[in-house]
Amino acid sequence: MMEQVIGKIESINKGPNYCNTSITLEDKSHFNVKLNLNDDLLLTIGKIYVFELDQVIKDEVTQYKAKSFKRIEETSMDKDELNRLYSVFYEYAPIPLKEIKTQIESYLDAIKNPILKAVTHEVYEAFKGRFYIHPAATKFHHAYVGGLAYHTLTMLQLVDAMLKVYDYLSRDLLYAATLLHDVSKIDEMTGVDGEYTTEGLLLGHLVMGSIEVEKAAEKLGFEKSEEVLLLKHLIVSHHGQLNFGSPKKPQTGEALLLWYIDSIDSKFTELKTSLEATKPGEFTQSVAVLDKMRFYKPKL
């Protein structure tokens, strides 16, 4: 008798004559599946699969062997069901993804410079399908489904706050660069509980993002414009320092602000997580992105 189950790969065990995997089901229970000897090469720990199973009785014990399996993204499942399953198996952004999408696209619509608007829209459309389910990291800040989009939105909100004080900076350039600064993380890492890709390890999302902007600009005929040059500079410099992975240090006011708000959002997001796990009057565990410092949670 064949059954179908959906589960997230937790571990894979393989020996000379056996191969099996432990998966977590929707109800959070654990389930063991026997595999063919080379099936482990086709599975990725941390990903969700649909398994077609054959029931096998051995020594009066019922076992289940995978007849076939597919990543849920490779099935004909609609987007609503995919999002539901992501929310079951993974940590999710703290506000609904539809709301994040509406707000982010309002910032895209607010860009007035025609070149920046066209190039940003071109890159955004190319990545939009994966942008709202991708994490911003494999660990540390925003490492959950929708983390990339949520991180982008909170940075855009920080841009608005900063421009109220530093109004000499270009709103259009900051909106465009913030929207695109991490977009190539989609190709840099495989997703939640995933790993870095070869391109991600060899180039990194700053260089990859600049390349995407260049491709869009060439397609639209804007590759020689100052707007595109500045946009690429903001993307390649947004980690601020060479030892943090930036090919260039920030050399415009907008680039400097983008670096600062990116650092603020990533660090304060991790600090919030640590403080939430700490009792008032006690110190957090060391926070990796904050030089492994421990922070006191006031009783106030």
Please tell me the least confidently modeled range out of 13-27, 89-103, 106-120, 275-289: 89-103
Whole-number pLDDT of residue 295:
97
Whole-number pLDDT of residue 139:
58
Q: Can you tell me the mean pLDDT for 16-36?
A: 90
Q: Can you tell me the mean pLDDT for 148-171?
A: 96
Whole-number pLDDT of residue 141:
55
List, for residues 80-136, the tens digit of each pLDDT value: 788 788 778 877 777 888 899 999 999 999 999 999 999 999 999 999 988 888 877
Share of the chain above pLDDT 90, in %: 61
Query: At 233, is the pLDDT very low, low, confident or very high (cuts 50, 70, 90)?
Result: very high
List, for residues 56-86, the tens digit of each pLDDT value: 877 777 888 998 999 888 888 887 788 788 7
Amino acid at 231: L
Average confidence score pLDDT of the chain: 90
Q: Does 29 or 61 have the greater pLDDT score? A: 29
Contact 104, 121 (CB under 8 A): no
Asked if the model's pLDDT at residue 138 lies above 70, the reply is: no
Residue 74's φ and ψ, nearest 5 degrees, are -95, 0
Among 152, 27, 158, residue whose Cα is nearest residue 95: 152
List, for residues 200-227, the tens digit of each pLDDT value: 999 999 999 999 999 999 999 999 999 9
Distance from C-alpha of 237 to C-alpha of 209, rounded to nearest angstrom: 11
Nearby residues of 30 by Cβ (< 8 Å), 6 or more positions away: 10, 22, 23, 24
Among 240, 247, 175, residue whose Cα is nearest residue 208: 247
Distance from C-alpha of 284 to C-alpha of 99, rounded to nearest angstrom: 32
Asked if the model's pLDDT at residue 175 lies above 90, the reply is: yes
Structure tokens at 211: 């390349």
Contact 270, 290 (CB under 8 A): yes
Whole-number pLDDT of residue 147:
86
Structure tokens at 88: 């079951």
142 burial via Cβ count (<10 Å: 0-12, 13-18, 19+): buried
What's the pTM?
0.78
Distance from C-alpha of 100 to C-alpha of 93, rounded to nearest angstrom: 9
Distance from C-alpha of 182 to C-alpha of 153, rounded to nearest angstrom: 12
Structure tokens at 25: 């089901």
Specify which residues 14 forms β-bridges with: 19
